Chains A and B, each alone.
Chain A
Amino acid sequence: MNFFHRINQYLLERYPNIWNTRLVWMLLIALGIHILFFTGGYFTFITPASLHQQLYDFDVLNGNGAMLFAIAVTIILLVLWLVYLLKNNAFKNFYPTSRGKIFLSFFYYLVIIFACSTFHMSYMIGYKTFIHQKYPVSKFETQRLTAARAAPFLLLNIEDYNLINRRYPSPFDTLERRNVTEPENMLDGPSIVAHNERIQFFTTKEIITTTADSNYEQLIRNSLNYYKQEDAYTEVKPALKNDTVIITMLDKVFDVSHLADTAYTLFNYSNNYFLKDVNNITDPSVMALHPQLQDREQLVLKETYELLIRKDAAGIKARLNNFMKLADELMIKSNISVDQWFNLVNQPGRYRVDSVINSYPSYNDDEYYDSAAAATAETVDAAAVAADAAGNVRVRRETRYFIDMISFRNVFDNVDELRAWHKLNDFLHVSIWIAFGLASILLAFRITSLKSVIFAAVAAGLLGILVALFAMVSGLSNANIEFSVPYFLLVLALAIFIIPAVSGKGMSKRVKSVFMNLTIVFIVPFALLILGIISAHQNEYFIAKYGVDYRLKDHRTIMDLLGENVSWVLLAFGLIFIFFYAQRMKHWKALAEG
């Protein structure tokens, strides 16, 4: 207690602003809570079983309710802080102050609110740190390869072993393929019948044309997407210019029947699920990685192909062994031993797939475990037998074996998801702006009064209604809303900023305080509005001059150029503005009333 008192007195006598804002204590408390949240986050995924369920975006963000808990802690902490903060107000008592001191007060509010409202970020950083430590990129890539190398032998889905999936060796690696069941949808060219459907392998070509081309409609009808269809719609890839389109056409259909095996066989397997990072699939900006993925896939397929060609039983068993070790490490349930598994997949010759392993345990686990010892092939799928009969393959059997591949895949997907940092970055920006907004309102309250802040809120609401009415009228009168509304807002904002400065004694101190509060709170949105207007004009100019795809030709609006940095630029602007505007606040405070 004595220690706290001594520190408090030290701060009070030397740094009254820091003492008054309780900056040191709040940051220390926040640091402690951040450490707790970080620790909580770190231990969230301490057991691999916690990664077995699929974590959707909200789960990642919410983290088992950690976000709600963080919000509750934030509210309690900030309310308690406000109780202490509002005890002394040097500015309202006309104690000497300066522009710098007022700015620093605001900055301290900002820092405190930010520190007290970002506990969930520490939680996120906690689990990310754990994920990075537990599943480092190099180790995780090795695990991906282990899974990818064992994937052909998992026997999960019989259709994975159909001819249409074959991507190795050449020419299967480059050919496109489609399966059709209706003859009228066939491409002109040879096809291979496998399991009651026709599979065609082909190449494509691209034609660049314009909508004004007299053959345009015909080209569309002949395009791959609308092959011989009457009800074709305008294509397809990004236009180079306004009226230019790229149409994908069929080039040539190949006959690969002499290379194909129409039965379900390990040679046909080419699923690259484990080679992909889910974040890279969903993020369109990393399309460039796809060729890389293709290379990796080819490498694994080549290894598998050569393994099968060599009939390398030891090699196959080693892959299964490695996979089961990884599955054990990730606490994945299964009821199959490596030897049992090996017996199912090791069918030298054409390596046909005649048994299927389940990818999830029965809801009645006991049944599986009880019969696990005797869980060899027992059930004969009569329909499958009939279907495969045409292909002259052996009988395919459902087994009672399972490997919990749903959980296994979830672990991979979840690690990818949790490793991604972009959500944390978004969270950072949102937190900064929430803190900035609250700090602005608090500054307005500390400089003026609660009444002035409430009046400012009411005024903002009324202005909002006015803008909405203006937008409605503009919309009805067919005006260009893209410009008319922003310019209307600009005029309103300029009026708010300028009127009190030029009004002199004609405006009461209270009314001026409302204008001042609106300025403090809305200056950053105002700056964003100006950037938006400039950007909209640039956009219009570039479209007129270079077409809608001007960005492909290296032309950028100011918002494009700033990108995510717009947040930092606006933050810097906001801080600089508050620093200079503090002089105006002093000036307002010194005004007489009445």
Chain B
Amino acid sequence: MSLSQIRIEEVRAYFRHQDYALAFRRLLDCAMDTQDMAIYKLAIKLTAEREQHKETIDPAWVAACLELLDQIATIPLQAGNTNEAVIAGEKLTKTYGHSGFSLGPISVQIRKGQVYGLVGENGNGKTTLLRILARELFYNQGKINYTFSKAPADDYDLRSKLVYIPQRTQKWYGSLKDNLKFVLANYGLQPQEIETRVLMMIARLGLWNYKDLKWHQLSSGYKMRFELARTLLRQPEVMLLDEPLANLDILAQQMILEDLRYISNSITNPIALILSSQQLYEVEKISDKVIFLKNGKYNHQEQEQQEQSERKLIVEMDVSSNKEQLQEVLSTLALEKLTFNGGQFIARFSDPVTFSQVLQTLGHSELEIVYIRNISSSSRRFFVA
């Protein structure tokens, strides 16, 4: 079974389980992969129908969706190349003369179809690294190789392929739809395709009901979604997003991250996606790889070795007791260290203690657990350590 067939079956399953919202989003992903305008138009029609009758699910609409899925299944897809690294940075260093901050040396390989989470505390060089990779900033030493499906004609062409979205995006003026159309028109797309492609992207990113609003009428989350729509219309091979989750509520964060993961995993147009964020848990959830920067340094081999060697259990928790009480409860397990950082307790266990054992022990105690999380393989352990 090919990858596209697997995805189509997944969508069918979502429909069967009546997860219509998720099913429809995934259906749109599959439709987008076809790059077929007839399919796009049908998908747009279904989106419009759904937005008109949002409260109820019409069986006829579901049937039409499944029919569209059948049509999509008949279209052969050519999978994009995900083997080669789009960006291969080697021993990159950047030193700021005035502040003395130094980034690197850092070596990274960014591949299409993968999501890279760039995490680290403020001032550790996340934005600097993103800007270096996007050729926005000079680096002092090292080397970057860019490999795109079509070699860029000149430096400007290369920059136009390196889509970088800064943390503070600029205000849009005029009609949102016109802004999106302007992108495709500049890319020289067929005029008759432009409207369809724009509406398809609007549909996919859940912007259908917002497409006729003005920029100032949008919330931060929708502004970011429109920014993503504008970027994705460019059909980038690599996207570098600086703090795309900043100022978004938790629901909006999850929605955007989920969309990014699916879109970057497109079969025909896989995207290499790097995003920096402070939202460790959310980013880790969707990332294929996490790049943790500390004091401007990142050594992925060291980090991986550390991950392999330190498979000890680390638990972060918030309980309604003091340190002594908690220490006493956990002392039955091989507790190596218990620290309190002012908000949460961090418990490290020396022997192969499992998370379920910890839960069991705490469950049997009288302590009230407010929050608990296993951060043994999360980069959060580096932050709280």
Which residues of chain B are near A88, meaning CB under 8 Å?
173-174, 179, 182
1/0 contact trace for B165-195 toward A, CB 8 Å? 0000000011000110111011110010011
Contact between chains at B191 and A590 (CB < 8 Å): no
Tell which of B157, B173, B186, B191 has the most Cβ of chain A within 10 Å: B186
A6 interface hit (Cβ, 8 Å): no
Do residues B191 and A16 form an inter-chain contact, with CB atoms below 8 A? no
| Chain B positions 132-188 with a Cβ under 8 Å from a chain A Cβ | 135-138, 154-160, 163, 173-174, 178-179, 181-183, 185-188
Contact B187 A94 (CB under 8 A): no
Determine if A214 is an interface residue (Cβ-Cβ < 8 Å): no
Given A12-B181, A95-B187, A96-B187: A589 in contact with B156 (beta carbons within 8 A): yes
Interface status of A374 (Cβ within 8 A of chain B): no
Interchain CB contact under 8 A, B154 and A594: no
Assess whether A97 is in contact with B156, with CB atoms less than 8 Å apart: yes
Contact yes or no, B186 A96, CB < 8 A: yes
Contacts A13-B191, A14-B191, A594-B138 given: A96-B157 contact, CB under 8 Å? yes
Which of these, B136, B157, B160, B191, contacts A593 with CB under 8 Å? B136
Shortest distance from the beta carbon of A456 to any chain B beta carbon, whole Å? 21
**Which residue on chain B has the smallest CB distance to residue A88?**
B182
Q: Is the CB of A97 within 8 A of B186?
A: yes
- Cβ of B138 and Cβ of A592 under 8 Å apart? yes
**B contact residues around A466 at 8 Å (CB):** none
Q: Flag if B191 contacts A587 (CB, 8 Å).
A: no
Task: Given the known inter-chain contacts A16-B185, A97-B186, please indicate yes or no for A587 contacting B159, CB distance below 8 A.
Answer: no
Cβ proximity bits A2-36 to B, threshold 8 Å, 1 near / 0 not: 00000011001110100110000000000000000
Contact of A589 among B159, B174, B179, B186 (CB under 8 A): B159
CA distance A88 to B175 in the complex (A): 11
CA distance A20 to B156 in the complex (A): 21
Nearest CB in chain A to that of B234: its residue? A95
Contacts of A9 in B (CB 8 A): 181, 195
- Which of A16, A19, A87, A590 touches B155 (beta carbons < 8 Å)? A590
Given contacts A96-B160, A592-B138, A593-B137, contact A12 B185 (CB under 8 A): yes
From residue B212, how far is it (CB to closest CB) to chain A in Å? 13
Taking CB atoms, residues of chain B closer than 8 Å to A290 are none
Chain A residues 85-139 with CB under 8 Å of chain B are 86-88, 90, 93-97
A144 to B137: give the CA distance in the assembly, Å. 77
Contact partner, A505, options B138, B160, B163, B174, Cβ 8 Å: B138
A228 at the interface (CB under 8 A from B): no
State whether B158 touches A590 (Cβ < 8 A). yes
Contact status B160-A94, CB under 8 Å = yes
How many chain B residues touch A (CB < 8 A): the figure is 28
User: A13 touching B154 by the CB < 8 A rule?
Assistant: no
The contact of B181 among A13, A590, A594, by CB within 8 Å, is A13
A16 to B155, CA, bound (A): 23
Cα A88 to Cα B173 in complex, Å, equals: 7
Question: For the complex, what is the distance from the CA of A589 to the CA of B136, rounded to whole Å?
Answer: 10
Is A586 positioned at the interface, with any CB of B under 8 Å from its CB?
yes
**Contact, CB under 8 Å: A16 / B186:** yes
Tell me the residues in window 347-366 of chain B with beta carbons closer than 8 Å to chain A beta carbons.
none
Check if A13 sits within 8 Å of B174, measured CB to CB: no
CB of B135 within 8 A of CB of A13, answer no
Output the least CB separation between B188 and chain A (Å). Answer: 7
Q: How far is the CA of A592 from the CA of B154 in the complex (A)?
A: 14
B94, B155, B185: the one within 8 Å of A13 (CB) = B185
Which residues of chain B from 82 to 107 have any CB-CB distance to chain A below 8 Å in the complex?
94
CA distance A444 to B188 in the complex (A): 25
B370 CB to closest chain A CB (Å) equals 45
Identify which of A13, A16, A96, A97 gathers the most chain B CB atoms within 10 Å of its CB.
Answer: A13
Within 8 Å by CB of B188, from A20, A86, A96, lies A96
Q: Which residues of B contact A86 (CB under 8 A)?
A: 173
On whether the beta carbons of B186 and A90 are closer than 8 Å, the reply is yes
- Chain B 298-311 near chain A by CB (<8 Å), digits 1 or 0: 00000000000000
Q: Using known A-B contacts A88-B179, A95-B183, A96-B186, determine if residue A13 contacts B156 with beta carbons closer than 8 Å.
A: no
**How far is it, in angstroms, between the C-alpha of A96 and the C-alpha of B157 when the chains are bound?**
7
Neighbouring A residues of B188 by C-beta, 8 Å: 96
**B169 → A minimal CB distance (Å):** 11
With a cutoff of 8 Å between Cβ atoms, the chain B residues found around residue A586 in the complex are 154-156
CB <8 Å contact, B137 and A16: no
- Shortest Cβ distance from B232 into chain A, in angstroms? 14
Please judge, given known A-B contacts A87-B174, A505-B138, whether A587 and B181 are in contact too, CB under 8 Å. no
Provide a sorted-by-A list of 29 A–B residue pairs whose CB atoms are within 8 angstroms.
A9-B181, A12-B178, A12-B181, A12-B185, A13-B191, A13-B195, A14-B191, A16-B182, A87-B174, A88-B174, A88-B182, A94-B156, A95-B183, A95-B186, A96-B157, A96-B160, A96-B186, A96-B188, A97-B186, A505-B138, A587-B155, A590-B154, A590-B155, A592-B135, A592-B136, A593-B136, A593-B138, A594-B94, A594-B137
- Residue ranges of A at the interface with B (Cβ–Cβ < 8 Å): 8-9, 12-14, 16, 19-20, 86-88, 90, 93-97, 505, 586-587, 589-594
Q: A95-B183, A505-B138, A586-B156 are in contact. List 7 more A-B contacts (CB 8 A).
A: A14-B191, A88-B173, A88-B174, A94-B160, A586-B154, A590-B159, A592-B138
List residues of B whose CB falls within 8 A of some A CB.
94, 135-138, 154-160, 163, 173-174, 178-179, 181-183, 185-188, 191, 194-195, 234
